[in-house]
Structure 1
Amino acid sequence: MPKSTKIITIVALLLVLALATLDSTIVATAMPGIVSQLGGITLYSWAFSAYLLTSTTVVPLYGKLADIYGRKLLLLVGAVIFLVGSAACGSAQSMEQLIFFRGLQGLGAGAIQPLVLTVMSDISSSAEENARMLGAIGALWGVASVVGPLLGGLIVDHFPWQWIFYLNLPFGLLAIVLLAIFFQERFVRQKHQLDYLGAILLTGAVIALLLFLLQGGTAWAWVSLPSLALLLATLILSVAFFLVERRAAEPILPLELFTERTIALSNSGSFLLGCILFSLTTYVPLFVQGVQGSSGTEAGTVLIPNLVSWAIISMLASLILRYFGYRFIVLTGALFIAVGTGMMVFFREQTGFAFLALAMIVCGIGFGLARVIYTLAVQRAARKELVGVATASSQFVSMIGGTLGVAVMGAILNGQIQQRLMPIIARVAASGQRLPEGTSAMTVLLTPALRATLPLALLEQLRAAFSQSLFWVFLTMLLMALLGLLIMLWFPAVILEQPDSSVSGELETAHSGANED
């Protein structure tokens, strides 16, 4: 591929990926304004859940279809579905319609990230060039994560909320045109047999699991008939999927991806990284706002050091890979994540912003190192015909890990709140005092105007109890990080390419004289 054509293709790939990434963050700050016009506050969480459900469940399917029919076709199809869903979201007249169209958006978004990563691997001439591209994607994710919530708030404050979704259309159409014209895929279509039964079973298992995680403890109790039924359905469908995949001629998610050492370890790391990352972005702002009494805007800024350090280290990943090996980098990344989450265990009400920012920077360095190498290692170790589904599997387990991590942390936090905050509220009620009518202790802690109505002594008790509750969340994140560090001790120093790997080049060693474990 000529250099100029490759540059235009990369720009188009980054543009369509930026839209999908922005759409997962820009809606968060816009939803209160949207709900105020459409109504349906009881369906609030489903505007996020519908997108998460569909975008997660279709990732392995797109990966397999891309290996069968080509990356370009499936990426263009996914981008078109995403844009149609965006236009439909902007035209929604009710919350029910918005939720349905957000699900449609997710069906397209589920193709974009894994296929962009796969195409980046396909057009790279070496692992170092691929690492540079993955670094650019990491930096893009960091920037989008910061800009998205700010842009969402700006649009809702000054423009109709529909522009949250309409903004995707001109840039998305430009990206589609550029990809259609300039992306020159070398792909020879061959006859394949698609594993329809495996796809149905996997999709059903994932939907049941995500419904169990997203709705358990909120729409219904964790130990209730709906929760137990969903958990049982997940187990039955998963076992059936495993049995079908063992016999399928061309499985939708080949089991060898979880038995090959490099891919299995990378996917394990991606799963734990997803758990920690999603939990960090969810519960650190909650700590800053609920325990330290900061505003929502101030709580959001505490994540900026994490995202900036992640973006910088991602862009440097190719340079680091040149001098150090895969194993050294993933171990270093896992160590930084463990140190950063270890610092979070010491978060207290009086903790200064400098310490908070330092912990976020350390975690960001770890995320940047580990994420790039996990994806690169999977792509290098997979057989050529499995690169697409292997890349999709890495994204898939990361998304499942994030959902599971947030759900587990939420269950821990809710249990601690019941144990620590509720007795304080009970003592207050017994003494004749009352919280503002119609509000919970958590609502009071997270709302500056309501905090001002409480006696200082009571407010300090609630903050201390909430801090102790979050301590167990941060400790669980640290244990996950330590588990990830332990697992990476078995990561190979040299990634052995398959003879027909899609990325050309000689076997790369960590450094002169490195030996595979």
Structure 2
Amino acid sequence: MSSSTGRRRISFAVCIVTILLAVLDQNIVSAATVPIVRDLDPDHGVDRIPWLISAFALAATAALPLYGKLSDSYGAKRVFLGAVATFLVGSALCGTAHTMGQLIAFRALQGLGGGGLMSITMVVMAQLKGPGGKGPGIAGIGAVIAGAGMALGPVVGGALADHANWRWVFYINLPIGVAVFVLAAVLIKLPHQASRHRIDYPGAALAAAFSTSLLLIAEWGGKEYSWGSATILGLSAAFVALLALFLWRQATAAEPVLPLAMFRNPVLRNAFALQGMLGIALMGTVVYIMIYLQIARGISASDSSLFMIPMAAGLVGTGLSAGLLKKRGWTHRTFLLTGTITNAVAAVSLVFTGVHTSLWLLGAELLVLGVGFGLLLGQVLTLAMESTAREQLGVATTGIRFFQSLGGALGTALFGTVLSRMYESKVPGGSTSTIARLSGEAHAHAVRALVTSVDTVFACAAGAMVLAVVLAVRLRIPGRTDGPDAAGRAGGHPVVPVNAK
């Protein structure tokens, strides 16, 4: 084996570890939220869990539109190293937080780097592989890594929270991240393909601003402030104005971060909406299943995290079977219809979760949910790539990630509001954060109220998946096949093969 081949294989391994680190960090906090709350804010911390989760997602979402342009202008390796460094600084600061406010702010900084760990790493892998080059299948490893991250993240997070300290949930990133940074800096050699582009910083700032306004409305509306309050009305007006400015900027900028022309492509338009619904549904299940298990059933963080294993197994199993299913004639539309229907059925079944629901039944429901997500994983992104002109592959890819992240952040905030409002309607003046300190009938009543409130969240997630089914049914891909040599037109736009570089 030549030295260049060995260097490239190690570089691929570094990229795979980086993606796994990104997926792990999206899931590792979910199992440690309750211990974090008990330490930093035992009275009102549960109500701020949505911010802890969505701060990372929102910051990553805001950064996503910029990463593609920065990579084109300065080179993928430089931007990759910058994203890893930012992620490491955010992780270190999260471990030192002494209040929920500090942790949420540091989590947002971590998210700025985390937004590039997945997207730019894929660019690095593509450039390492090169046109027609040999190397790991970039799309093929997605399901395995996502499943491993979904399974290991909550397990590692719960174990650290129970047996060490929740701060190690963030500190564990440091040795791995430093190793990734050093190896990438020394070993990764990419062709110099950077060319100067105009970077639409105002457009990216407006995207972050209108996204934040929308998230604040979802988080505060009807909970912190009434829907008719000056604060919510002001935020609503700001959201409309900022969104209008963003659309104007995208229509007039020389190189917009999210070209409006893409929305004239019906395949991309449906793909963006579908990915947003998937982001909403995923956050509405994983986060609140952990809350249900730990608060309502009294299961420790480490033990509750084991319930993610069936979901991860379903995801990995169907993800690895995708190639065989394609050989048997499954098209993108078949994958999307089957996956969304499967997820809708699983989400509806979660609505009937009760105080004494069999944990075996819950595990089976999560397995089915994993099967559904496994059928969907990567299909929307691949479809978007195949339905996009070559010169728009970068913005289409980050656009898919943008809508998924925005959907996840918005869903977390909305579901947090739904949970709090539903619980307070059943336990006036009560807080979900104080359930563990209650006893007797008061505790039993509070648990029943929490479970019915969580069921309402699951119903909202099921509604998102039903809407995803409708979008999948409406999806039409004229004039193309689903094979790797697909050619023709998709919604008036040239089809680009998945493996095109």
TM norm. shorter chain > 0.5: yes
- Judge which range, 54-63 or 167-176, deviates more: 167-176
CA distance in 1, matches of 2:147, 2:305: 13
Taking the aligned partners of 1:189 and 1:402, their CA distance within structure 2 comes to: 32
Q: Which moved more, 1:216-225 or 1:335-344?
A: 216-225
CA shift digits 1:145-197 (9 cap, x unpaired)? 33333333443555565544333233212222333344443453333222232
Is structure 2 residue 463 aligned with structure 1 residue 479? yes
Cα distance in 1 between the residues matched to 2:114 and 2:71: 15
Distance in 1 of aligned mates of 2:26 and 2:250: 32
Mapped partners of 2:249, 2:207: distance in 1: 10
User: Which residue of structure 1 lines up, in the alignment, with residue 212 of structure 2?
Assistant: 207
Query: 1:327 maps to what in 2?
Result: 333
Q: For the residues of structure 2 that align with 1:123 and 1:329, how far apart are their CA atoms? A: 29
Task: Provide the rounded CA distance (Å) in 2 between the counterparts of 1:462 and 1:353.
Answer: 20
Give me the whole-angstrom Cα distance separating, in 1, the residues matched to 2:11 and 2:195: 25
After superposition, the Cα gap between the structure-2 partners of 1:194 and 1:463, relative to the gap in structure 1 and judged at 3 Å, is closer
Q: Is the 8 A contact 2:213 2:236 kept in 1?
A: yes
> Which of 117, 123, 135 is residue 112 of structure 1 equivalent to?
117
Counterpart of 1:137 in structure 2: which amino acid?
G
Distance 1:216 1:381, change over 3 A: same
Q: 1:137 to 1:177 in 2, by over 3 A?
A: farther
* C-alpha distance after superposition, 1:411-459 (max 9, x if no partner): 444444455x24xx7xxxxxxxxxxxxx837457x53x735x228xx93
SS of residue paired to 2:254 = coil
2:25 maps to 23
Name the CA distance, whole Å, in 2 between partners of 1:470 and 1:84: 34
Instruction: Report if aligned partners of 1:306, 1:364 keep a CA contact under 8 Å in 2.
Output: yes
- Equivalent positions of 1:340-379 (< 5 A) are 340-379=346-385
Q: Distance in 2 between matches of 1:363 and 1:226?
A: 38
Q: CA separation in 1, counterparts of 2:459 and 2:339? A: 19
Q: What's the counterpart of residue 266 of structure 1?
A: 271
The residue type equivalent to 1:332 in the other structure is T
Q: Does 1:305 align with 2:310?
A: yes
Q: CA deviation at 1:355?
A: 2.6
**Structure 2: how far apart are the matches of 1:171 and 1:103?**
20
**Contact 2:142–2:378 (CA under 8 A) maintained in structure 1:** no
Q: 1:200 to 1:181 in 2, by over 3 A?
A: same
Instruction: Confirm or deny: 8 A CA contact 1:122 1:502 kept in the other structure.
Output: no
Counterpart amino acid of 2:460? T
> 1:195 touches 1:251 (CA, 8 Å); kept in 2?
yes
Is the alpha carbon distance of 1:471 and 1:107 closer, same or farther for their aligned partners in structure 2, counting shifts above 3 Å? closer
Is residue 2:378 matched to residue 1:394? Answer: no
Between the aligned partners of 2:342 and 2:38, the Cα distance in structure 1 is: 42
Comparing 401-410 with 217-226, greater Cα deviation is found at 217-226
The Cα RMSD (Å) is 3.6
Deviates more, 1:9-18 or 1:379-388: 379-388
Cα distance in 2 for residues equivalent to 1:289 and 1:94: 22
How far apart are 1:78 and its partner, in Å? 0.7
Q: Identify unmatched segments of 5+ residues in structure 2.
A: 488-492
> Is 1:403 aligned with 2:409?
yes
1:175-222: CA deviations, max 9, x gaps? 223333444434533332222322222121122222333344554444
Among 432, 438, 441, the alignment partner of 1:450 is: 438
- Percentage of matched positions with identical amino acids: 29
Tell me the equivalent position of 1:295.
Answer: 299
Helix, strand or coil: the match of 1:133? coil
Quick one: distance in 2 between partners of 1:250 and 1:187? 21
- The change in CA–CA distance for 1:21 and 1:240 in structure 2 (over 3 A counts) is same
Distance between the aligned counterparts of 1:224 and 1:271, measured in 2?
28
Matched residue pairs, number?
482
For 2:365, the aligned partner's letter is A
